[in-house]
Each structure stands twice: as structure tokens, then as C-alpha cells.
Amino acid sequence: MKKKFLFLLLLLSGTFLFAEDGYDLWLRYKPVNKIVLSKYKQAIQALHIPGTSQTITAAKEELITGLKGLLQTSILLTTTIKNNGTIVAGTSSSSPVIKSLDLQSDLSKIGNEGFLIFSKTINGKNCIVITANTDIGILYGVFHFLRLLQTEQSLDNLNLSSSPKLQLRLLNHWDNLNRTVERGYAGFSLWNWHTLPGLIDKRYIDYARANASIGINGTVLTNVNANATILTAPYLTKVAALANTFRPYGIKVYLTARFSAPIEIGGLKTADPLDEGVRNWWKEKAREIYSYIPDFGGFLVKANSEGQPGPQDYKRTHADGANMLADAVAPFNGIVIWRAFVYAAENPVDRHKQAYDDFVPLDGKFRSNVMVQVKNGAIDFMPREPFHPLFGAMPKTPLVMEFQVTQEYLGQATNLVYLAPLFKEVLDSDTYSNGKGSTVAKVIDGSLNNHRLSGMAGVSNIGNDINWCGHPFAQSNWYALGRLNWDYNLSSEKIADEWLRMTFTNNGSFISSAKKMMLESRDIMVQYSNPNGLHHIMGTGHHYGPAPWVSNLNRPEWNPVYYHKADSIGLGFNRTSTGSNAIAQYFPEARKLWEDINSCDEKYLLWFHHVSWNFKMKSGRTLWNELCFQYYTGTERVKQMQQSWNVLKQFVDVDRFEHVKQLLGIQYNEAVWWRNACLLYFQTFSKMPIPSHYEKPDKTLEYYKSLRFPFAPGN
């Protein structure tokens, strides 16, 4: 009885928040604030959206669903403009009303995927127009319009024009055919190959809706550590079913191509890219794929990396391999995306240098439908690393940015780490390749070197967990990837603001506090795990937690000791001219930021320099004391995140509040683990005490070394 009374009391007071599981992502369409509701209802009274294509139908359904949820009322569908507040959506070819507005000049500036949203008096009625050159542009415009409503923006005197900065806006799924996900921390793969093509799970449609809402237009369905089985007829039938589902939402499917497929499923004795039989096999395979999927995007390829087969097995170059596949898909307007993530155990050169050494000599030797996909940094998606030296170094080759949305090295699904600041840090970095202002963003958008193709990809963090991404806040990283793909000039703050308003609430007190937490979260994680340029000191294999002591793996570059090089003198990897000289791969103006140990940006100090334990940092502290400060401060800041979240309880439904609260508890424990394990280990070299004002570790180094995680997810 008391529970029922409390329920009614909360309901009447307006403070009761129904439990949410996170499935709806940022497309919740909950009622807007009463203050703006009356204005919206006056501005939106009817919907005129002619056309019967699958994409227009999807746009119409999204508008109806969104408006009904946000405004708590049904919207009149009309074939003519009779009402004030009519939303008119369509292209010049689908809508006579739009055609009569003579928008050719404006439409000519936004391409095939851009859109216009503006206020207009039509037939004496005040209307809102959403128009574009194509149906997919209309869908993107509809999602943007709904975003305006969800974030409670003014609809007065609308005049918006938007088009994507990048042509290919991709998600890379590292999903295996057995539904495990490499580096996945949100359950099993979305793709249920066993029930495809017969069963089209509602999740596939909602996945497409979510991607279209942020402008993602391509999905690579399979792991870069590829399985040739996906290229066989039974699986191509399944892929075609997904392609058919995604097509109305503007999403093309891509597949990873295993380089040895001609041997494994084709019965050939070689996969040599210069062998005529191999080349013909791939041409026939491409023809077969396009017979199932006429708009198939093309292949993503990992070759001669971490044991994967590739053209170097036959003494051929990466260009030879990529061009063979490019020739196969070229008649169908397909592309090949060739990953530059290569390093070899047999190569004694600093791993930082190997991709540059392999690919720069090949610049200009790739077919026009080949793109080279480059990780944001030269090592491997570290919590913080300088931009990859290949950006700016291959002016004749279009490069695709590869970010990792899944948090392999950033706390996985137990840590709240908002990645937009990391993405922006890289995109805004100046390569100086064409003088000052030659940012990484301008390299990948093609503008710096006049490339026809451009793109950015993110390794997906999506699984079949009910909330898609494991950690509720990890959804923001999927969202951020899409928004920055569309417009890399957006700020991390703007993206966080949008996501919080759409995912939780427009309450100003909630937004200001939660946004601050998000914007600081990546720096916090760096502080308590890999400060001052430390990198790749994670547990080996699973990459969960710290293990800077590991030194017994077969390949030297798989051992954390390879990267930190701690000894009695100091700490860090010397990549200057007196060390590996990896710094020489950057243009001189960029090198100046890092090559002098006394002026090096301290965020990257240990990345480029082996530094004495007694080296005086800008803070006045020695390197050892600075490490202690960073580790302890980062850990304390996680505690502050916990406190900040607890204050927000009144604004969040109980299920999501408790989920985040408990995960922040795990994150604090993991921060303590990182702090204690790393400082105890590095102390064996520095021989210096942890300053007395810090709490001493309550476990021994031997304890931390003994920890094992044989069933860590994503491994």
C-alpha cells in the first residue's frame, strides 16, 4: 500500500521518471518542456510529404513517430497546404510545392546528401520546409529537424543548410561469423547469421535508423581479421538481406576480404595478386557479389599485419594487392579500403615507423578507387597519442581516418570515457604538409590534395546488449563519430550537449554537470592509466587493466616493456634523432612541438623521449613525482565523477542512474588498480618513494602481477 501511495505521489508531483533500458539511444522522442510545447504545437500542425520511395516512407514514419512523442499529439497528414504550421518535406521531383519554390541555386550547393530547412510562407500559410536533392537528403533533414525539437531549439525564422564534410562515413564492425566480437564489450554481434535471411530482426532497422540520424552511410559487417566464408553464396544471401534492410536509410554494406580466399574457398594454389588466375577469380567473385547486392560498397582489407595473409607473402607490394581488388570492383563503382596498420615481428625498426616506411613509397601507385585507411596514431588506438605521420605524407592517395569507438584501450565498457575530445584532438592537429593549417581533417576530407574520395571510419562499439553499447555513456561515442563525420568542425561540447539532451533531459542543471563530466572524462582516464605519453602498458591479449611488467611474449612489440623502456636512469621511448628517429617522419614544424625535451608538450613527453627520473617538469616536480601526481590526481577525479553523478539522481530514471553509478564504482576501483600497479612497478626502477601525502598502495606489486583474466570480453 505504501509503495502504491509513493508511486501516485511521485506521479502527481511530476518527478517520477519511468525506468529506461537505453534501447532507444538518442531517438527517445520524449515530451518536450511545457514552455516550448505550446510554441511547437503552433508551429507544427500538419505534414505534407509526398512520395512513395522506401526512403521517403522511412522519413514520413520517423516524422510521425517523433512528432507524436515530442508533442504528444497526432499530426494531420495533408495533400495540400491548407494549414499554418505545415511541414513540407520533399524534393523538387517528388513535391510540386517544393518545385514551385525555385531553390536550384541553394540546392546546387549541398550535394546529394545535404538538406535545407527553412521557414517559408506558402499559399499564405506559415510553413517549415525540409528539402534536398535526393530522398536520402530528406531523411537526413528530417532527423536534423527532430534533433532541433528534442533539444528544444527555437523554430522561429529557420534558415539551415547542411551537407556532409566527408563522403564515406563508416562503421567498421569487428564481428565474427560465430557472433563473437573482437574488442567488443557490449554482448554478441547484432548479426544473427543463423536466422538470416529469413528473419529480419527489428534491431537491424533500428540500427539503420540510428546511423541515418547521425549521417553514417556505410557499414563493414565483418571483422578485419577476415573469414573467407562470408564471400560464399549462402552468406552473400544473408548479407543481401541486411543490405536490403539498410538501403532505405542510405547505408551501403561493405565486407572484409581475406586475401587468401582464392585458396580457401576458390580451390586455387596461390593468392598471388599478379597471377592471372587469381585476378580472374576475384573478378568473378566481385561479379557474383554485385549480383546479390547491386550497390555493394566494396572491400576493407587487413593484409600482412598480425599474421594475416597478404601480397607480401608473394613478394608483392600493398599496392599490388589493393589494385588487384580495385580492378575487380571498378566496373561496379566499388572501392577498396586498404588498412595501413602493418608491422612485422621480423622488422627490428620501431613499430611507430613501420606503416610509414611501407606506404609512403607507394604513394601514387594505387588505383583511383583505392583508399588507404590509417589509424589516428602510429601505435594502436592509445588513450592519447600524436597523430599518425602518414597524414600529410601521401598527397597522391586518399586517406580514410580510422578511429576506435569501442574502448579497447580506454577502460572498455566499465569506464565512462567520452571520445569526442580524442577525435577532435587528432582532426584538429596540424600536419604542416602544405604549410600551416594543413590539418588532419583537411587531409581526410580531400580538400588539401583535391581527392575525389574522402572518409572516416570508426571501429564499432555496438553489440546485442539491450542498450547497444554496454556502458550507457558509450552511446555518446557512436553518436560523436557520426556527428564529426558529418561536420568535423562541431565542438566536443556541442556534441555532448546534443547527446545529453536527446538521451536524458533538457534540464539545465543536469546538462551543465553531466557535460562537464563527459568533457573531462578522457583526460581523467589518461591521467590514471597512461600519463605524460606512456602508452601500450595494458594487460596483454585482453588489454584490460595495467601490466607494464610483461616482457615474455614472442614478439617484442607485443610486450609493454618495449614501449616504456623503464630503467634505472629514467622512463620513455626515445624517438628523437638519438633514438629510433620516428620523429623525422613528421614535417619540421610538427616536429618542433616534440623534439626538444625541454619544450616538448608534456602530454607526449614519454612518447618521444627517455626522461631521467629527476628531470624537472613544468610543474616544478621531478618526473617521478609528476607521475605520482598524475596517477593520484586521475584516481581522485574519478571519485569526483562519482559525486557529480550522485547529485544528478533526481534527473535520471532509476535504472540508468543505478547502472552508471555502479559502473563508476567499478571505474574507481580500476583507477586505483592502475595507479597502484604502475607506481609500484616503476618504483622498482626509480628507487624513489611515493610522496608521503599520498595514500600508500594497500596491495603489493606481486599481487597485481598475479591477476589473471582468462575470460575478459572482446579478446
Q: 120-152 pLDDT, tens per residue?
A: 999 999 999 999 999 999 999 999 999 999 999
Is 532 part of a structural domain of the chain?
yes
Is 401 part of a structural domain of the chain?
yes
Query: Cell digits for 58?
Result: 522511412
Contact 173, 462 (CB under 8 A): yes
Q: Do 275 and 245 fall within a single domain?
A: yes
- Among 118, 138, 162, where does a domain finish? 162
Contact 328, 285 (CB under 8 A): yes
What lies within 8 Å, CB to CB, of 224 at 6+ separation is 172, 174, 256, 300, 301, 302, 339
Distance CA 27, CA 424 (A): 24
- 455 three-state secondary structure: strand
Query: Cell digits for 681?
Result: 612497478
**CATH classification at residue 407:** 3.20.20.80
Q: Do 124 and 249 fall within a single domain?
A: no
Cα torsion 532, 537, 543, 547: sign: negative
Phi first, then psi, for residue 298 (nearest 5°) are 140, -160
- 323 three-state secondary structure: helix
Structural domain including 309 reads 172-194+217-485
Amino acid at 438: S
Which DSSP string do the residues of 231-282 spell out, in sequence order? GSHHHHHHHHHHHHHHGGGT-EEEEE--TTHHHHTT--S---TT-HHHHHHH
pLDDT tens for each residue of 622-662: 999 999 999 999 999 999 999 999 999 999 999 999 999 99
Is 496 part of a structural domain of the chain?
no
Q: Do 349 and 260 fall within a single domain?
A: yes
For the cut 80, the answer to whether the pLDDT of residue 259 exceeds it is: yes
Q: Do 636 and 691 fall within a single domain?
A: yes
Contact 107, 131 (CB under 8 A): yes
Distance CA 214, CA 340 (A): 27
- Among 433, 462, 485, where does a domain finish? 485
Amino acid at 279: R
pLDDT tens for each residue of 568-586: 999 999 999 999 999 999 9
Banded pLDDT at 13 (limits 50, 70, 90): very low
pTM to 2 decimal places: 0.97
Is 614 part of a structural domain of the chain?
yes
Q: Do 306 and 398 fall within a single domain?
A: yes
pLDDT tens for each residue of 24-73: 999 999 999 999 999 999 999 999 999 999 999 999 999 999 999 999 99
The mean pLDDT of 545-568, rounded to a whole number, is 96
The mean pLDDT of 245-253, rounded to a whole number, is 98
Contact 544, 709 (CB under 8 A): yes
Contact 183, 542 (CB under 8 A): no
Distance CA 41, CA 398 (A): 47
Q: What domain count does the chain have? A: 3
Is 33 part of a structural domain of the chain?
yes
Looking at residue 16, what is its pLDDT? Answer: 54
Contact 679, 628 (CB under 8 A): yes
149 CB-contact burial (10 Å; exposed 0-12 / middle 13-18 / buried 19+):
buried
Phi first, then psi, for residue 77 (nearest 5°) are -90, 130
**CATH classification at residue 664:** 3.90.1330.10
- Among 485, 519, 547, where does a domain finish? 485
Just list the catalytic residues: 306, 380, 408
Contact 200, 247 (CB under 8 A): no
Banded pLDDT at 10 (limits 50, 70, 90): very low
Q: Do 142 and 240 fall within a single domain?
A: no
Distance CA 290, CA 253 (A): 11
Q: Do 327 and 423 fall within a single domain?
A: yes
Helix axes 654-686, 508-529, angle to 10 degrees: 30
Q: Do 314 and 377 fall within a single domain?
A: yes
- 696 three-state secondary structure: coil
Is 200 part of a structural domain of the chain?
no
Distance CA 576, CA 583 (A): 6
Looking at residue 573, what is its pLDDT? Answer: 98
Q: Do 301 and 448 fall within a single domain?
A: yes
Is 553 part of a structural domain of the chain?
yes
**CATH classification at residue 52:** 3.30.379.10
Looking at residue 446, what is its pLDDT? Answer: 98
- 115 three-state secondary structure: strand
Q: Do 356 and 316 fall within a single domain?
A: yes
For the cut 60, the answer to whether the pLDDT of residue 464 exceeds it is: yes
Looking at residue 345, what is its pLDDT? Answer: 77
Quote the radius of gyration of the chain (alpha carbons, Å): 27
Looking at residue 8, what is its pLDDT? Answer: 42
Q: Do 551 and 660 fall within a single domain?
A: yes
Distance CA 140, CA 163 (A): 9
The number of beta carbons lying within 10 Å of the beta carbon of residue 233 is: 9
Query: Cell digits for 380?
Result: 594502436
Q: Which residue has the cell 628517429?
A: 581
More confident of the two residues 521 and 15: 521
Is 601 part of a structural domain of the chain?
no
Distance CA 221, CA 172 (A): 7
The mean pLDDT of 238-252, rounded to a whole number, is 98
Q: Do 563 and 669 fall within a single domain?
A: yes
Per 3-state DSSP, the chain is made up of helix, strand and coil in percentages (nearest 5) of 45, 10, 45
Contact 672, 704 (CB under 8 A): no
16 CB-contact burial (10 Å; exposed 0-12 / middle 13-18 / buried 19+):
middle
For the cut 80, the answer to whether the pLDDT of residue 247 exceeds it is: yes
Distance CA 479, CA 309 (A): 34
